[in-house]
Amino acid sequence: MTKRNHAGLLSPLMLMLAACNGGGEQQAAPSGQSAADAPPAKAAVETASGTPATTAPAAAPAGPRSCAAEIGQQAADRRVAVCRNLSPATHPPCNAANSCAMIENEIARSCALLGKDGALPADCRPAPDSKAAAIAVVKLYYSALDAGDYDTAWLQWGENGPPKQTPDGFRTGFAHTRSTRVAIGAVGDAEGAAGSIYLTVPVTVEATLDTGASQRFGGDYVLRRVNNVDGASADQLRWHITSAKLRPLPAR
């Protein structure tokens, strides 16, 4: 069954904070909801005045915002040129009509492939194995969400997406989110374990709902990549989000 969110009182990002981890913080379901707590369609909830209200099913999210609309045609064309120069794909998604996040994701993917064979081109900055590249993944994730490009956002969790999520559920989880943005905190050193490298990226997230209400959250994303070992694929060598913990913050 398709999972649905409620506008206003139960926002998509509030439903991200569904499962307590026992430490006082809450584990974020990255799609904006948890399977256990997602309400059924037409479920009754309380309004701010305490009066029960019946919510309608969430509307289908709008299509992604183009990169040209986001940063201007000239700037978008420059990123497209870089993308086409680096991408080995026959028909890469390097087009100003796509979201900036999709274009940047293709650039990062291409750089990971090229990095396996030797020196990186000058346009491959930051280097795929760097701390800066891990931070860029979190920024790209929120850029994709803000543009309504949920397919590209999904890929920042790896090819299989967030744990225990379906693409449709992930997309529907943000149906009532108008915009999102993220600020990155001070990032420490990466840690190695069992052939992988992990990096914790602290964030502050601000979201605006389709009701106009604003919400703030703070917490961490943990990113992972396989160590530089023989036989690792380009996808394994890229940073991906592996978990997230977010908590509500007071309004400004």
- Domain CATH for 30: 3.10.450.50
pLDDT for residue 52 is more than 80: no
In three-state secondary structure terms, 110 is helix
When mean pLDDT is compared across 54-68, 73-87, 179-193, the lowest value belongs to 54-68
Phi, psi of 169 (to 5 degrees): -65, -40
Q: What is the pLDDT of residue 214?
A: 95
Asked if residues 70 and 64 have their Cβ atoms less than 8 Å apart, the reply is no
Calculate what percentage of the chain has a pLDDT beyond 70. 75
**Number of domains making up the chain:** 1
Instruction: Note if the pTM is more than 0.85.
Output: no
Band of residue 67 on the pLDDT scale cut at 50, 70, 90: very high
Look up the domain containing 206 and give its range: 14-55+64-249
| In a domain? residue 102 | yes
187 — pLDDT class (breaks 50, 70, 90): very high
6 found inside a domain? no
In a domain, 2, yes or no: no
Encoded amino acid at 224, one letter: R
Q: Pick the residue with more confidence: 215 or 56?
A: 215
**Does the residue 9 lie in any domain?**
no
- Taking only the tens place, the pLDDT of each residue in 68-124 is 999 999 999 999 999 999 999 999 999 999 999 999 999 999 998 888 777 889 999
Residue 195's pLDDT is 85
Confidence category of residue 203, pLDDT binned at 50, 70, 90: very high
Domain assignment present for 3: no
From 131, 130, 137, select the one nearest 107 (Cα to Cα). 137
Token reading at 206: 């601000």
| Structural domain includes residue 4 | no
Instruction: Residue 151: name the closest of 108, 99, 186, 203 by CA.
Output: 99
* Stretch 201-206: mean pLDDT: 98
